[in-house]
Amino acid sequence: MNGMIREPMHRILYPKCSDSYSDTLLGYANSIRTVDGGTHIDGVKASLTRTLNNLAKKSKVIKDKDITLSGEHVRERLTCVISVKVPNPEFEGQTKTRLGNPEARKIVDQSILEYLIEYLELHPDVLDAILSKTLNALKAALAAKRARELVRQKGVLKSSSLPGKLADCSATDPAEAEIFIVEGDSAGGSAKVVTADFSAVLPLRGKILNIERKDEASMYKDEEIQNLILGLGLGVKGEDFRKDAPRYHKIITLTDVDVDGAHIRTLLLTFFFFEGCIYVGVPPPYKVERGKQAHYCYDETKLRRLQSSFPANTSYNIQRFKGLGEMMPLQLWETTLNPETRLLKQLRVEDMAEANVVFSSLMGSRVDFRKELIQNSANVVNLGHLDI
């Protein structure tokens, strides 16, 4: 042992600290607290990182040989206490609170390596839990790095770096500004023609990613997600977001009145899982022309009520808008964009935890959860509202 006595005082624990993202390593040398670390702490770090990388590749958890788990990710949520006895301790620093003996690193590294491999090979469930935690930390770090690169490269607050399809408004106060997230370039083009000084328009190209089924690294690589983040100034998910941070304090989704439009809206709401500034624009599906008069109906109930108000044998024409792109710019302004005449629904969440469960069940990858939720909710669904 090169003159150093190894004693059974080292403890390595991965406690259930789901809200922790750092490690706690406490080192002692000859019963002296080494608050600045030292070679014995370096030995712990090196042994943990090397051992878990080897076991991860051996167990095929990591199949890509180019991926290596870093010490930071391996030690996330770790609590470790290590105490060593050194015959001739060498303490460094002004306060003498860092162990400097080079032999301590090698011996600690080797002793932990032996115990760790033996324990984890006998307890594969523990190994799986640790590797799962470590891989999640790695994915989160990659996602955050990608998002930071986006912000650095394209500066969210600089108008020249905003998404090319965004028709920005001239209002500089976010509290007075609003943005329409519009389905399709054709509808976006009509909306851009007539938007007011305080209204911006961002057309979407098809359906965005279902982020409930994607990791953050994949999410930030998607072009449409990038456009939403940059255009709205949302920052990095879970890190920089504040309710007052978006460039527009009124974010309005505007999609076609059909199944695809409802799906796109749901995908957007899965992405916009926060409260206070999210609205749903309601375009009218029907236009009724009688002579020179035009009436817009936002649902079938209002359509039937309007029809019943006409005298018998009255001639009129009903137009069903299949999409926003079928409306002329002036029609879109009068029915959907004009603040004085439009119909907006503000989204509020009464129970955030329950809403989170519903979104995870509906939009997640677990088919059994989604099936159970649909079956349990079937009795409260109005069949007349189903587009089938």
**pLDDT at site 103:** 92
Residue that is last in its domain, among 108, 142, 176: 142
**Predicted confidence (pLDDT) at residue 233 exceeds the cutoff of 80:** no
Q: Is 312 exposed, middle or buried (0-12, 13-18, 19+ CB in 10 A)?
A: exposed
Q: What is the CATH number of the domain that holds 47?
A: 3.30.230.10
Mean pLDDT for all residues in the chain: 79
Angle made by CA atoms 257, 300, 194, in degrees to the nearest 5: 45
Verify that 233 and 293 share a domain, yes or no. no
C-alpha neighbours within 13 Å on the C-beta side of residue 360 = 6
CB 7 within 8 A of CB 85: yes
CA 62 to CA 70: how far, in whole Å? Answer: 13
Q: Which residues contact 192 (CB under 8 A, 6 or more apart)?
A: 167, 201
CA 164 to CA 107: how far, in whole Å? Answer: 59
CA 153 to CA 217: how far, in whole Å? Answer: 17
Q: Which of 258, 275, 299, 326 is catalytic?
A: 258
Q: Which of 260, 275, 299, 326 is catalytic?
A: 260
For 51, the 3-state DSSP assignment is helix
CA 184 to CA 262: how far, in whole Å? Answer: 14
- Please state the domain count of the chain: 3
Angle made by CA atoms 267, 271, 274, in degrees to the nearest 5: 125
CA 102 to CA 140: how far, in whole Å? Answer: 35
Verify that 338 and 311 share a domain, yes or no. no
Verify that 214 and 337 share a domain, yes or no. yes
User: Per the domain annotation, does 385 fall within a domain?
Assistant: no
Long-range contacts, stretch 257-263, CB < 8 angstroms, 24+ apart = 257/283, 257/285, 257/321, 258/322, 258/323, 258/387, 259/387, 260/207, 261/183, 261/323, 262/387, 263/207
**Predicted confidence (pLDDT) at residue 140 exceeds the cutoff of 90:** no
C-alpha neighbours within 13 Å on the C-beta side of residue 36 = 10
User: pLDDT band at residue 243, thresholds of 50, 70 and 90?
Assistant: low
Measured in residues, the chain has a length of: 388
Q: Quick check: is 19 catalytic?
A: no
User: Per the domain annotation, does 165 fall within a domain?
Assistant: yes
User: Per the domain annotation, does 302 fall within a domain?
Assistant: yes
**Predicted confidence (pLDDT) at residue 187 exceeds the cutoff of 80:** no
**pLDDT at site 214:** 72
User: Per the domain annotation, does 2 fall within a domain?
Assistant: no
Beta-bridge partners for 98: 92
Verify that 202 and 308 share a domain, yes or no. no
Q: Which of 183, 216, 224, 334 is catalytic?
A: 183
**Predicted confidence (pLDDT) at residue 192 exceeds the cutoff of 50:** yes
* Strand-strand pairing, 91-92 and 24-29: unpaired
Tell which residue, 75, 60, 78, 66, has the closest CA to residue 11.
Answer: 78
**Which one has a higher pLDDT value, 308 or 142?**
308
Verify that 63 and 52 share a domain, yes or no. yes
**pLDDT at site 299:** 85
Verify that 15 and 108 share a domain, yes or no. yes
Q: Which sign does the torsion angle of CA 136, 142, 144, 147 carry? A: negative
Q: Quick check: is 183 catalytic?
A: yes
Domain that holds residue 311: 286-320
User: Per the domain annotation, does 335 fall within a domain?
Assistant: yes
CB 13 within 8 A of CB 48: no
* Strand-strand pairing, 250-254 and 278-281: parallel
CA 39 to CA 105: how far, in whole Å? Answer: 5
Q: Which range has the worst mean pLDDT, 14-23, 185-194, 293-302, 376-385? A: 14-23
Q: Quick check: is 256 catalytic?
A: yes
Verify that 213 and 332 share a domain, yes or no. yes
Q: Quick check: is 260 catalytic?
A: yes
User: pLDDT band at residue 215, thresholds of 50, 70 and 90?
Assistant: low
User: Per the domain annotation, does 369 fall within a domain?
Assistant: no
State the pTM of this model: 0.56
User: Per the domain annotation, does 156 fall within a domain?
Assistant: no
* Strand-strand pairing, 79-84 and 24-29: parallel
Tell which residue, 135, 144, 146, has the closest CA to residue 70.
Answer: 135
**pLDDT at site 300:** 86
